[in-house]
Structure 1
Amino acid sequence: MSLAFVPVYIHFLGIEAYGLIGFFTTLIAMFALLDMGLSATLNREIAKLSVQTESAQKTRDLVLTITTIYWLIGIVIGCIIALSASFISTHWLKSVSLNTQTIEHAIMMMAFIVLFQWMQGIYASGLIGLQKSVFLNGVVIIVATLRGGGAVLVLWLISPTLQAFFAWQLIVTVLHTLILATGLWRYLPVAQSARFQFSILKDIWRFMVGMNAITLVSLVLTQLDKIILSKILTLEAFGYYSLASMIAASLYRAISPIAAAVFPRFNQLITINKELELKRLYHKSSQLIATIIFPLAIGIAFFSYEILWLWTHNQQMAEQSYLLVSLLIIGAMFNGMMNIPYMLQLAYGWTTFSFYMNFLAILVLTPALLIGVPYYGALGAAAIWLSINVGYVLVGIQFMHKRLLPTEKWQWYIYDMLIPLSTACIVTSIAKFFNYTGTSIFLQLLALISIFSLVFFCVIMSTSYIRSDLFKILNKLRFRLLVKN
């Protein structure tokens, strides 16, 4: 939904206003720093308690303690954004057609949206820890449809303004937060009334501190390019970069549910010491992510101009954004493949490795951006982002597997990464030789759908675990059909 309605938002609001929406997305990510590792801690602790007897009361106390702290932090975040609205609108953002009063009012509404959206993270983490992903995903599907489709109707039928857009986002965000909070408390095990317990924080503070350190460096690493570009570029130019970043970030929407579902299971398997099953799940989930993001990322990177033109019907937008999309989505692809190894690290409680890796990346990224962006602009930032994430895969996995599952490193590189990636690149490269631009829009769209479908199929066939599961599913269906007949 976030992808489908972007051309409509730009049609009604303009690319400058979409640049402001991109700034709003950056704000949300920036304040993730104040999470202090609470959401990941809640997820991990609930998953561990779920396999322990007589833990209902401790689980409810844990949820109340952490969510109370989260609400206090969220209120602080909202106040910071609201008090900074005037400064941001007059001294930070550079606009040609939007007046400062409009921007300031939009930022004030952002403050309330960020507060409630911030709370969604902790409630979602609790539901994932309880392995209630089906409920969570159902809510996300409904709310995403309401958020995107409703915003289009508001802009079309009521008012094509930023104020109307953000007002609708606020209404839907509050509703989303209330549903998640109600769902989490309903699914918690039955016990006496929950109590705020400082002693719980004493038990989990080490993991919280480690997660907070990772969050800090990850925030700088993922948002520094946008912060610098929002200051240097005009809102229009930043709008194109925001558009490309949003397309690249869409990969995480495809894989984050997998990583979220795997993390509590990792915790359970480590707690009950089932290493063989842990290894199998590690490779199977890595291959599942590979079968999703490799066809998407490689296909979009090779056909970025064609996709942007078909999507927006705006030649200027396609020309300004397609190279950015190609670079950023390949970077996101490599970053996405690190999700399962990262979940494994957290399940073992090993937070220092990711912190040092990210800190080292920042030492490289900061001077590179300060030097590259003034000369090469948004393309320079995108190329630097890609290089950093390639480094993660080439270097990070090497060191991680020296400590965790040391016998599985080369299986991850070869079977989970190299073979499916090579398959996606070869099939897409062959398809790229054919010329689709002279045909009708329908035929171009049909050709792209056919190419992506073929790449998906070939990548699935190249992965041992996913291919095996697919054949099992087909055999079961075949057996059921035979029984019915």
Structure 2
Amino acid sequence: MIARNVLANLISMAVSIAVQAGLAFGGYRLAGAEQYGLIGFFSTLLIAAAIFDAGLGQTVTRAVARDQVEAPGSAGRLVFNFTLIYGGLAALVILLVWLCSPLLAEYWLKPRDISTDSVQQSLVLMGFAIGIQRLRGAFQAVLEGLERQVVSGLLLSATGLLRLALGLGALAFVAPTAEAFLWSQILASLLETGAFALGTACVVPGAFMPQRLEAGLIWQTLRFAGANMAAAATGTLVQIADSLVVSAMLPLSVFGTYSLVSTMCSAMVRLTTPLITAVFPRMSGYVRAERAAELRSLFFAASQATFVLMLAAAGALVFFGATFIELVSGRPEAGDEFAPVLAALAIAYALSGLCRPSHALQMAEGNPVAALRINIVTGAIYLPAILWLTPRYGVILPALCLIGANLLAFILFTATAFRSRLKGAALPWLSSSVLPQLAAMVASYGLMRVIVAGPLSLSGRIGLALAASVLALGLGVLCSNHLRPHLERLRQQA
């Protein structure tokens, strides 16, 4: 079932990344750098609001997965109570963004050709779009806890394509402004949430029938999710602090291009989402049943897959960053200017992605406090550094500081993962799931740079980057002994 769910998640992830790339590519070209700066700020707020999914969403998934072991068929009561929790938090998000919009428009963002009133109106629309979309998280988490990734993936793919069509259609045919784009995203969020609610009703009989309000369940969920959401919030703050600082200290047009580069890197990290989504419920089940051998094998396989994906994607952005920026923005000068920023961000985001298997294990073990402590330590170093140094050194500085913060986080997450059920397995993990994949990436991109010399056209450079990525993926899989059996089962099922 894991292989099937990974395949379903991979398909939905591919569509999701295509949607994200399409919105970034089309949005930047249709709206321009400054208007896209507002769209980029919307993306930053979306990432911040995603602490519901990383915090509460994982709690819901874990609760549903454990409930299937202890009391199969009782998912209806969970859906009812979790929907109430999500509804209250979504309303809180809308209210907070609404109340903060005057201050953000007047003192935070720095537009040149957009009025303050238009910026404030855009911020209010962002709040509604984000709040409605977060409500979807309750239904998605339930489907994932039931290991219905196929249903969830189909819904994400369909609604993602709808979001892309509405967003680009609004910019192209209504107005090339952030306000037109955001109205389209409110409509998309309504349709998306409705589709997930319907999908949940189809797989959970009586999901929306009147249920007993379980205050104990809600309190227990919020208590566990509180530490989890705090950990997610501090981790998210570290990841988006660079965008927040750049948006506050530099012109909105500069932030627009920086946001475009950040979007490319965040799409890279999303490569790990299908994998972690598929293995997390199974990890929770193995922990609950004390099946240590299966847990160890699954963790090694998830780590190998994560390293292969992250290192291959990061290598492409590090070695061919200027090419990708030129392709997306249509401006060769932007490629030359922001290529070092993209390379630094790619390394930083890759390190963040490499933490995800260890974090999933901590969550499966019911230990969200470890992530909270790690994120507080890294944030305490990282945030003062970028606040002090960004005005002096510009956009490259937050990216370089993020590398240091995420490297420290990776070391701490890894050390914590091997303290309990995987105690004593750190060296075998390092020798089988880290070093071979790193060597494969270096060899692949280094070989391509040696073989191909001299100037190439844009299409030639893109082709070279894709060839190097395919080679890196292939070599990475070949040297991943725990991953190959899962891929073989996936091939047989396909």
TM-score w.r.t. length of structure 2: 0.90
Match of 2:439 among 414, 417, 422: 422
1:154 matched to which residue of 2? 170
1:483 matched to which residue of 2? none
Q: 1:32 to 1:285 in 2, by over 3 A?
A: closer
Match of 1:15 among 15, 33, 43: 33
> Identity over the aligned pairs, expressed in percent?
22
Q: For residues 356 and 472 of structure 1, what CA distance do their matches in structure 2 show?
A: 38
Q: For residues 141 and 205 of structure 1, what CA distance do their matches in structure 2 show?
A: 30
Q: For residues 427 and 234 of structure 1, what CA distance do their matches in structure 2 show?
A: 38
| Distance apart, 1:437 and its partner CA | 6.6
- 2:385 is aligned with 1:368: yes
Q: For the Cα contact (< 8 Å) 2:24–2:263, is it kept in 1? A: no
Match of 1:297 among 314, 338, 342: 314
Q: For the Cα contact (< 8 Å) 2:59–2:221, is it kept in 1? A: yes
| Distance apart, 1:114 and its partner CA | 1.1
Q: For residues 353 and 42 of structure 2, what CA distance do their matches in structure 1 show?
A: 23
| Distance apart, 1:36 and its partner CA | 9.9
> Cα RMSD between the aligned structures?
2.3
- 2:46 is aligned with 1:28: yes
SS for the counterpart of 1:402 is coil
Match of 2:141 among 125, 135, 146: 125
Instruction: Please list the CA deviations of residues 258-309 of structure 1 after superposition, one character each: whole Å capped at 9, or x if unmatched.
Output: 1111111111112222211111111111112222221111121111012222
Letter in structure 1 aligned against 2:104: I
Match of 1:82 among 85, 98, 103: 98
Q: For the Cα contact (< 8 Å) 1:78–1:115, is it kept in 2? A: yes
2:226 matched to which residue of 1? 209
SS for the counterpart of 1:404 is coil
Q: For the Cα contact (< 8 Å) 1:248–1:329, is it kept in 2? A: yes
1:467 matched to which residue of 2? 484
Q: For the Cα contact (< 8 Å) 1:16–1:236, is it kept in 2? A: yes
Q: How many residues in Structure 1 have an aligned counterpart in Structure 2?
A: 475
Match of 1:235 among 221, 245, 252: 252
**Residue ranges of structure 2 left out of the alignment (5+ in a row):** 1-18
Q: For the Cα contact (< 8 Å) 1:93–1:231, is it kept in 2? A: yes
Instruction: Please list the CA deviations of residues 367-425 of structure 1 after superposition, one character each: whole Å capped at 9, or x if unmatched.
Output: 21122212222211000111111122233312331223112212222211111012101
SS for the counterpart of 2:113 is coil
Match of 1:91 among 93, 107, 115: 107
Q: 1:99 to 1:190 in 2, by over 3 A?
A: closer
1:359 matched to which residue of 2? 376
2:21 matched to which residue of 1? 3
Q: 1:204 to 1:115 in 2, by over 3 A?
A: closer
Q: For the Cα contact (< 8 Å) 1:38–1:66, is it kept in 2? A: no
1:185 matched to which residue of 2? 201
Q: 1:466 to 1:447 in 2, by over 3 A?
A: same
Q: For the Cα contact (< 8 Å) 1:460–1:466, is it kept in 2? A: yes
**Residue ranges of structure 1 left out of the alignment (5+ in a row):** 481-485
Q: For residues 368 and 41 of structure 1, what CA distance do their matches in structure 2 show?
A: 33
SS for the counterpart of 1:399 is helix
Q: For the Cα contact (< 8 Å) 2:311–2:437, is it kept in 1? A: yes
Q: For residues 394 and 202 of structure 1, what CA distance do their matches in structure 2 show?
A: 33
Higher Rg of the two aligned structures: 1
Greater CA drift, 88-97 or 425-434: 425-434
SS for the counterpart of 1:464 is coil
Q: 1:439 to 1:230 in 2, by over 3 A?
A: closer
2:9 matched to which residue of 1? none
Greater CA drift, 243-252 or 218-227: 218-227
SS for the counterpart of 2:352 is helix
Q: For the Cα contact (< 8 Å) 1:243–1:321, is it kept in 2? A: no
TM-score w.r.t. length of structure 1: 0.92
| Distance apart, 1:443 and its partner CA | 2.9
- 2:246 is aligned with 1:258: no
| Distance apart, 1:123 and its partner CA | 1.9
Greater CA drift, 216-225 or 348-357: 216-225
2:3 matched to which residue of 1? none
1:389 matched to which residue of 2? 406
Q: For the Cα contact (< 8 Å) 1:62–1:197, is it kept in 2? A: no
Q: For residues 44 and 328 of structure 1, what CA distance do their matches in structure 2 show?
A: 31
Letter in structure 2 aligned against 1:121: G
Q: For residues 431 and 458 of structure 1, what CA distance do their matches in structure 2 show?
A: 14
Instruction: Please list the CA deviations of residues 7-48 of structure 1 after superposition, one character each: whole Å capped at 9, or x if unmatched.
Output: 321121111111111111222233455779432221111000
1:137 matched to which residue of 2? 153
